[in-house]
Each structure stands twice: as structure tokens, then as C-alpha cells.
């Protein structure tokens, strides 16, 4: 009986149309959420983390335009995907109760933002080039929720950053060239967007 079921399953596999065997994209590796996911969301949680609504000051630090698409492993866009990012300010301080020295944080940095992807599956954030804090190489946390499956929680790093190789979270996620490509941001000057700003494009592939 078991043998017959196995044979039937094999036959079914061979009948799957060739399209189903198209090359698949490597998924973005899951990584720890870490201790600093917001416990209370800021009043302003749009996709511009450098400017807090109602405040004239702009956040300290180097501005980074982070954009990309949310795709499935076949390269199709994922309608309705929600992308969240969170990170520390330019001094390495999170807006979080567990953060020592939280009172010294840059009040002009939003720290967290979220947005729904557009019709082409695109997201974009105006945020900061991440900085190191004790024990961690620079990184941006992100989470993607879709209609299907559990949320993807991961982190972006800076390609070529010497501290990456000493960071255990990075090392655990960056085990192959394909995984590194999903989590390492190549930062490019973007003077056309705004003076002194950097930009990077990171597609997020959900399983």
C-alpha cells in the first residue's frame, strides 16, 4: 500500500507542468526580532523616519533611502504586504523601555515606520544609515506581514562593513552568497534625491 502511494505520488510529480520548475528566488533569511521591537507605536509611524510630524527638526545622522519590492519565490509581487522597519538613532539609542539611556534619544528620529506595498509591490523608507551599538554591527530591523504564512522578521546590514563578521546574528543569517544578497545593503550616493543622502534597493523575498 505504501509503495503504491509512493508510486502514485511520483507519477503526480512527473505530471506537474514545466512552469512549476521555473528558477526560484532565494528567500530572505529569518532573523531574530531582537529586544527592541516597539511596545507602543509612535504617533507618527509613516515611511519617513527622519521627520517626525509636527517637529521642525530633522533627525541626526546620514539619510538613507531604502526601497525595494516584496516578492514571492517565483518573483511575483505580494499584494497587500505590510513592511515595518525599526532601528536605533544616530547615537545607537532605541526608543524602547529596555534601552538604557533612552531619555537621551534623538526626539527627531521616528525610530519605527510602516507602509503597505504599492500596486507594483514596492516599499520605500526615508530613514538613517544604521550605526553600530555595543555588541551589534549596524543593522535595520524589518518585518513583513502578508495574507499567507507567518510574518518574515529579519535585518538588513551594510555590505562591506568590517564589524559584520564579528556579529553573531549576521553570521547566522549570511551563510550563503544568496542569503548575503538578501540582507546586505549596497549603499550608493544619491545626491539627486537630496544632498548627502544614500540610497539602496533591497527586494524582500518571502517564502
Which residues of this chain interact with Fe ion, rule CB under 5 A?
34
Q: Minimum distance from CB of 101 to Fe ion (Å)?
A: 15
Of 40 and 192, the one with the shorter C-beta distance to Fe ion is 40
- Concatenate the DSSP letters of all residues of 136-176 into one string: B-SEEEEEEE-SSSSPEEEEEEETT-GGGGG-HHHHHH--S
What is the distance between the alpha carbons of residues 92 and 58, in angstroms, rounded to a whole number?
17
> Where would I find the beta strands (DSSP E) of 39-121?
63-72, 82-86, 112-116
Distances in Å between the Cα of 24 and the Cα atoms of 21, 65, 77, 151, 203 are 8, 27, 14, 20, 14
Residue whose CB is less far from Fe ion, 123 or 170 = 170
CB of 155 to Fe ion, least distance (A): 7
Nearer to Fe ion, 123 or 156 (CB): 156
DSSP 10: H
Q: Nearest residue by C-beta to Fe ion? A: 34
Min. distance of Cβ 139 from Fe ion in angstroms?
6
Smallest distance, Fe ion to C-beta of residue 118, A: 27
Which CB atom, from 34 or from 151, has the smaller least distance to Fe ion? 34
Amino acid at each position: 500500500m505504501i509503495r503504491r502511494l509512493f508510486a502514485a505520488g511520483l507519477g503526480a510529480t512527473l505530471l506537474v507542468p514545466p512552469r512549476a520548475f521555473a528558477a526560484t528566488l532565494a528567500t530572505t533569511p529569518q532573523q531574530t526580532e531582537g529586544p527592541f521591537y516597539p511596545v507602543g507605536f509612535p504617533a507618527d509611524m509613516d515611511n519617513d523616519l527622519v521627520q517626525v510630524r509636527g517637529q521642525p527638526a530633522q533627525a541626526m545622522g546620514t539619510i538613507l533611502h531604502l526601497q525595494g519590492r516584496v516578492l514571492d519565490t517565483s518573483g511575483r509581487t505580494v499584494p497587500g504586504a505590510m513592511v515595518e522597519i525599526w532601528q536605533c538613532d544616530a547615537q545607537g539609542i532605541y526608543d524602547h523601555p529596555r534601552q538604557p539611556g533612552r531619555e537621551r534619544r534623538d526626539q527627531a528620529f521616528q525610530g519605527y515606520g510602516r507602509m503597505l506595498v504599492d500596486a507594483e509591490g514596492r516599499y520605500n523608507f526615508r530613514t538613517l544609515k544604521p550605526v553600530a551599538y555595543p555588541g551589534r554591527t549596524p543593522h535595520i530591523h524589518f518585518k513583513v506581514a502578508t495574507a499567507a504564512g507567518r510574518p518574515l522578521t529579519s535585518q538588513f546590514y551594510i555590505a562591506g562593513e568590517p564589524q559584520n563578521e564579528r556579529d553573531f546574528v549576521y553570521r547566522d543569517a549570511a551563510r550563503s552568497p544568496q542569503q548575503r544578497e538578501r540582507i546586505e545593503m549596497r549603499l550608493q550616493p544619491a545626491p539627486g534625491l537630496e544632498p548627502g543622502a544614500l540610497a539602496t534597493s533591497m527586494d524582500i523575498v518571502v517564502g
